[in-house]
Amino acid sequence: MNATPIKEERLLQVILAPVVSEKATMLADKREQVVFRVDRTATKPEIKAAVELLFKVEVKDVRVANVKGKTKRFGRFFGKRTGWKKAFVCLKPGQELNFAAGE
For residue range 45-103, what is the model confidence (pLDDT) as tens digits? 999 999 999 999 999 999 999 999 999 999 999 999 999 999 999 999 888 877 665 54
At the fourth CATH level, the homologous superfamily of domain 8-91 is RRM (RNA recognition motif) domain (3.30.70.330)
- SS3 for 49? helix
pLDDT attached to residue 2: 58
Residue 34 DSSP one-character state: E
Strand ranges of the sheet holding 33-38, from the earlier edge strand across to the other edge: 15-18, 33-38, 84-91, 59-67
Among 6, 28, 11, 36, which Cα is nearest to 96's? 28
- The separation between the first and the last C-alpha atoms of the chain, rounded to the nearest angstrom, is 32
Q: How far apart are alpha carbons 71 and 58 in whole angstroms?
A: 38
Question: pTM of the prediction?
Answer: 0.84
